[in-house]
Structure 1
């Protein structure tokens, strides 16, 4: 009995504002594997391989707005024509690729020492980024901030139990970023 190789077909992806491809990719290959094996983008993590831990989360910017998609259980060909952001796309870099500035979420996580091993961090960065972008379009009242953070971050798993610092970092960032909170005063909310 011989094992037949997977059928391939061309795939072009829009990742972090840049077209990548076309490249021949097996039809059954998950996006996380394409990111790692074809594109050298290893920031997106393969954790559980079942979409439960969300370390593999990428952001898709389509007609539904920014949203999280689990790349370990979603085939790469699903992403054809959809703008994707990985954790590598958040920080600002100069023309030579040198780091110029971290994103506000990344900086907040560093400022709060939010992670220990860092394996889950890319998923948390993407989740917090999606939350902040949604709040920029539709601000919430200060008394809703904690619930919004819980809803956004709770699906993500951290084996080192860094949850409290992730939450604190995101809460402080939301409350200190103009335009994300409406209505009641944010004084004393942190």
Structure 2
């Protein structure tokens, strides 16, 4: 028995992925892992609850959206622009990292991870939040609630939440234009 497949093309980490045959029922997480060897998004719960599998969908208007890849079929992403955790840092022509994203750097400075399994999802969630704050700054008094609302859907088995929240709070407070007085 063969699985029904159809062509899938999209952009991942600014690289066009030409049309390739992908099973119609394949989840995006499996496509990333098995077809593209992008293994940063993690299988955590397999039910879309923990968000370890999250990636960013970059819309035409420039806004960012989190998408859970363990419960979303690969073909839902057809024609879309996707950023995985591997696409956050700036790289040189050889692929070596030359600069971490501000979120990644903040997480390192705060040692905002323990085992690191959930970190890709938190990087994704925090990056989407920073983008939202650039577009709609929040009052300082509302910052903690805003961070909580954005990151509460991410589950950390090691209970590293405090450091993730501190890293995101400090990044928001130290990035001009994200927080209003």
TM-score interval w.r.t. the shorter chain? over 0.9
Q: Pairwise mapping of residues 1-190 of structure 1 onto structure 2 (< 5 A)? A: 4-63=1-60, 65-182=63-180, 184=181
Report the counterpart of residue 188 of structure 1 in structure 2: none
Deviation string, structure 1 residues 112-143 (Cα, Å, up to 9, x no partner) = 11111100000000000000011111111111
The structure with the largest alpha-carbon Rg is 1
CA distance in 1 between partners of 2:86 and 2:60 (Å): 23
CA distance in 1 between partners of 2:138 and 2:7 (Å): 43
Gaps of 5+ in 2: none
Deviation string, structure 1 residues 48-79 (Cα, Å, up to 9, x no partner) = 11101100001111257211010000000000
- Number of residues of Structure 1 aligned to a counterpart in Structure 2: 180
Runs of 4+ in 1 over 6 A off after TM superposition: none
- Per the normalisation by structure 2, the TM-score is 0.97
- Per the normalisation by structure 1, the TM-score is 0.93
How far 1:5 moved relative to its partner?
2.2
Deviation string, structure 1 residues 72-124 (Cα, Å, up to 9, x no partner) = 00000000011111000000001111110100000100111111110000000
How far 1:175 moved relative to its partner?
0.2
